Chains A and B, each alone.
Chain A
Amino acid sequence: MKKPFPIGAIIFGVLLCAWTTYVMLDVFVIVRPMQTNATEMNLSMFASITPSPTPIPTATPVPVHDPDATPTPEVTSTPTPTPTPSHFSEEVIATENFYSNDHLAIEISEYREHNTQIHVAEVWVTSAQYIYTAFAKDTFGRNVYETPSEMCKTKDAVFAVNGDNYGSREGGYVIRNGVLYRSNKYEQTSRDVLCIMADGDFVFTSYYMANAENLLNIGTWQAFTFGPVLVDNGEIKVDVNSEVDLCFVTNPRTAIGMIEPLHYVFVVADGRTEKSYGLSLYQVADFMLRYGCKKVYNLDGGGSSTMVFQGRVINFPTSYGSYYEREVTDIVYLR
């Protein structure tokens, strides 16, 4: 008797491959918009906030990173926030590295540590309501993408970094501009949640501790689900060993830190190139702690890490081994 022809195995193999192709398309390609024109802002939570004394920044000239220039020499001194703030400006002041208006001041600087170019934006706002977020194409959904610089144009933003890439996941709290878009939990339960409260404070929580509706009710203006928490109450919360499961090597990074309420630091570190290796989570935490941040949260990194200032991408996003501004699902922006 001859060996039987494996027709059943062939049919099953084809079906399995077809199913896997569909799953991969669902993960990476198929666009699933859940809410278009998602631009609502719920400012009601700011009605009860008493304006705090205005923190006042100063414009200090800092070197600008030139893509063709030799990398900035390694910095050994501790990075420090601008020491003596002076004022927000009634009129718009915009230089290459500084921007201010009556409610916002942004100062851009650069550092080089661990063979990595680190772009820092120190930000002062008169109210947390000026920390905005936006969805790609103003659409809340899965696999809806747009480049940060395109989103900046649409939103007339002065400054932006990539967000938490909520749109590539099916779960995780999403509260944006005071509106709750997603309240289901992320399957990876270790994810920390960052809440930017209406009073400007950063609150870290997790699914074990709070549900999304409650977070909104207590005045959460923005909630991100990525993490992990890098620094909390002035203490580094990651170490070389604890980050192994997430990512133990150097990579491009985006992180947001709070020196004090209404005084923030956005950091984007370039990576995956010979000119700039990238940072580990611990190195980001250490840098931002030395910068003066009391609380630091890691946002989506890798090829997504992008910083846009006055319409220009000022870092060097890398994807697939080359400079390339990757499309993302959301940004944090200022205007």
Chain B
Amino acid sequence: MPETQHPPAETPISGQDYLAVQASPEFQELRSRLRRFVFPMSGLFLVWYFAYVLLGAFAHDFMAIKVWGNINVGLLIGLGQFVSTFVITGIYVLFANRELDPRAEAIRAELEGGAA
């Protein structure tokens, strides 16, 4: 990591600084890691949700198939939406804590220079 060359605290960060940071490999890395995680994950849960909605709207007989006692397929898939929501939340938090926070922290520290 290069040593900070920014002027001491109090000096506002200029547009040129922001352009430089935006172009830096560290920032590009942060940006692409964020996007490579959140876009596919959003696609995944939306597809899973709409699959459920479409089954709920059109496949009543399938949803009514009893699996165990009075518990049917529809109920299991519905509860599955809860489970997937909780699991995706957990995975995202682990990912963000490990992959995003340290990178964002480093860039912020460098940009804000001696301000901290």
Q: Do A and B associate with each other?
A: no
